[in-house]
A = this chain, B = another copy of it.
């Protein structure tokens, strides 16, 4: 297998720019810079940072939110028209996904023509909404939080502004709280039973945190007969980011069943169904159903949802609540590289001249494995020695040998791969060799805090796509782990999904300097470091983390008191593009 030459097309694939939600808004220009294309404008990310003297920033591309809303609306509109479905689409934005005022205003503004509504669950979110509501047309609000006097007061105020208010009831407490306000409609939130794959599978089941069981509902209906009449909505929620279409289909089937059950139980005024969130955002868009890569599109989702209810005699109005889909793509975290360090051990070659000869002799995968195995034998014996026998020389030797495997032997194997003397499948079959050949050789220290900027990376091991702002017209130099500014060992990213399965080529791709495996055609490869160019001395480099627009703003932590970042807000006004800089959180370093 020969070594592939590089192209911008390959770069777009390797760095995840082939994304159905972002489209071509993020692209690579001819000189290899990452650019943002809005209307006819082309903005280099590096220029945005340098011109504004920013070391770190959140770039917010608001037109990406508009684009996602339009995509959703058009998908449902088309399906509804084609099938003759009698219900309407009622999109709502679940505020928890990103309740910062800028984004909520976007939803109001871009959602004007779609009457995009809201879903909220806390008093603070409600108060924010109330603050903004007077500037826009009234919407629908689905409230699914705790009910208190202050909450009800806020809901009534919105109602007086012309809003339609639907409140999920979850207990006697809730029902008693709203009994005397007939203007407030009731949503019945039912616990789904099916368990989709993924991080949020505990969200469903009879013991899930939210919703009623059918039997609890029956009991409540017996005690409070009037709720039958006031209930207008069935609400369910399957958990976040459901990546498999088969799970989506099973879940939507269950929603339909529950809807039919509620009609059977006498809830005849229910005319709207909210199947909750769950629509997965393609953090990588490989369509394989893996956790970060849904195997369905928004059109697939719309078709399934509509066709599920199409067979019923009553076609409910459909609520779309996919918040990740709407806002994930809009925010990029950009951070400068502060330092580049060797990732693990380094060695002084002169100590290991004897071993060098053995490396020269490696001609096959089994030669390599044998040499590694012998060296690991020595490593084991050094480690097992009692402390009295160890000395500084032995720790040096230990480190030398580790470095020797990670550098010299790894590079020799890579060379043999390129020469075709080793087949890449032999490496794929050997866990240890694969680990060595996909490990980082450098640690980049970045001007960021993973806890503040991409908290889900530590909270739920969320995968975020990373890309450098320049040098994209050449193969990357090294695999690198990305360490942040915090004094926390969790503050580091060292995994990367290399979508070789999308490559239309026969050749493997290696990094340029450390000769690590970067991509194998036909194989989705998990790397243990991010492929990056080496910064030139004296030049500022930046790394970008994509798709950080959902949840990351409010889950941000203040570890080591590092938090906040200047913001670069990109918006359009007619045909022109506006760029606004908001300076805060600038003193990170």
Chain A residues packing against B (C-beta within 8 Å): 94-96, 99, 121-125, 127-128, 144-146, 148, 150-151, 170-171, 173-174, 193, 200, 202-203, 206-210, 213-216, 218-219, 239, 253-254, 257-258, 260-261, 264-265, 338-339, 341-348, 383, 387, 390-392, 395-396, 398-400, 402-403, 443, 445, 451, 455, 458-459, 483, 485-492, 554-562, 587-589
Contact = CB atoms under 8 A, between A and B. Distances in A.
The 6 A-B pairs with the shortest beta carbon distances in the complex, nearest first, are A124-B561, A121-B487, A261-B392, A203-B489, A122-B560, A207-B344
30 contacts: A96-B486, A121-B485, A121-B487, A122-B486, A123-B589, A124-B588, A127-B587, A146-B589, A148-B338, A150-B589, A174-B339, A193-B383, A206-B344, A210-B489, A214-B399, A215-B396, A219-B346, A219-B348, A257-B390, A258-B395, A260-B392, A261-B391, A261-B392, A264-B392, A451-B555, A458-B459, A554-B560, A555-B559, A556-B558, A557-B557
Given A144-B487, A145-B487, A203-B489, A150 B587 contact: yes
B151 A483 contact: no
A556 B254 CA distance: 36
Judged by DSSP, the binding face of A is mixed
Nearest to A215: B399
A560 B99 contact: yes
A376 to B, nearest CB: 14
A403 to B, nearest CB: 7
A555 B558 contact: yes
Given A121-B486, A486-B122, A218 B396 contact: yes
A246 B350 CA distance: 38
A460 to B, nearest CB: 8
A265 B392 contact: yes
A556 B489 CA distance: 18
Contact of A589 (B148, B170, B210): B148
A239 B125 CA distance: 38
Contact of A213 (B215, B253, B345, B487): B345
A146 B587 CA distance: 13
- When all copies of this chain in the complex are counted, the total is 2
A96 B488 CA distance: 9
Q: Quick one: which of A125, A146, A171, A391 has the most chain B CB within 10 A?
A: A146
Contacts of A239: 489
Given A206-B344, A485-B122, A395 B99 contact: no
Contacts of A492: 209
A395 B218 CA distance: 12
A554 B146 CA distance: 26
A399 B485 contact: no
Given A148-B338, A257-B390, A261-B395, 6 more contacts: A96-B559, A209-B483, A215-B346, A458-B459, A459-B459, A554-B560
Given A200-B489, A589-B148, A562 B124 contact: yes
A561 B151 contact: no
Contacts of A144: 487
A570 to B, nearest CB: 24
Contacts of A173: 338-339
A387 B255 CA distance: 11
* Interface core residue of A203, A343, A402, A554 (most chain B CB under 10 Å): A554
A362 B99 CA distance: 54
Given A559-B96, A562-B124, A403 B344 contact: no
Which interface residue of A451, A489, A559 has the most chain B CB atoms within 10 A? A489
A146 B560 CA distance: 12
B491 A209 contact: yes
B202 A348 contact: no
Contacts of A555: 451, 557-559
B455 A557 contact: yes
Contact of A489 (B209, B443, B486): B209
B487 A399 contact: no
A209 to B, nearest CB: 5
A492 B216 CA distance: 21
A585 to B, nearest CB: 10
